Amino acid sequence: MKSILISFLGILLTTSAVLAQTQLTTNDFQNKLNATKQAQLLDVRTPEEYSQGHLEKAENIDYRNAAFKDQVEKLDKNKPVFVYCLSGGRSGQAAKILHEKGFTDVYDMQGGYLKWTSSGKLIDAPKDAAASNKGMSAPDFKKLTRSGKLVMVDFYAPWCAPCIKMLPTVHKLAEEYKSKATIEAIHYDQNKALAKELGIDEIPAFLFYKNGKLILRKNGLMEEADFKKLIEENL
């Protein structure tokens, strides 16, 4: 009987933890946020990311700041918390911390700010934010991908751990295949307008082109052998 009771309590605690950290798609997140009175909206990206644009009325508390746990203690534990980051990694960890701190109603946005902006949802951003993030123009990108050779484009960012892990491999392959293919690494933060136009809502993102046509799109961590297989199959 005692073991049954312990098992039941374990299931109950696990279930309440899941309920306390609800992951929502961007549409469900938006609908739930709009329908919730006294909602606390939390942006856990860096102040620099936040300054370039954020959800309206979002409070910025940087997840990577050493004072994060102390700062979230100032929020009201009796009110729902809606949390997001750029792509979902940091917000997921932040949601766990909020639950551990005693917050009982936490909503985490899947895909984060990338998904939100790529779907055309409204943001609060400075007027010069778009201009400062123009980067490569659409005509220049089309020129890059117009080649009859295979073109692989890697959208990466310095804050993206898988991106940084793969970047040396991408540079190595660019040299190794330079006579057969063009391999280009494009900084996401400096090319947000282009990324949005291309529908990139998750990084790392690898786009493969031939004669100006997109023939393949891959996301996530890949090993050198995986890259080579894809390149060789599409040369």
Q: Which residues are catalytic?
A: 160, 163
Contact predicate 138/145, CB 8 Å = no
> In the 8-state DSSP scheme, what is residue 108?
E
**């793969």: which residue's tokens?**
166
- The Cα–Cα gap between 174 and 14 comes to 47
Residues sharing a CB contact under 8 Å with residue 120, sequence separation 6 or more, in sequence order? none
Tokens of 230: 């894809």
Strands 21-24 and 106-109: parallel
- The Cα–Cα gap between 157 and 203 comes to 8
The kind and range of the H/E element at 161 are helix 161-176
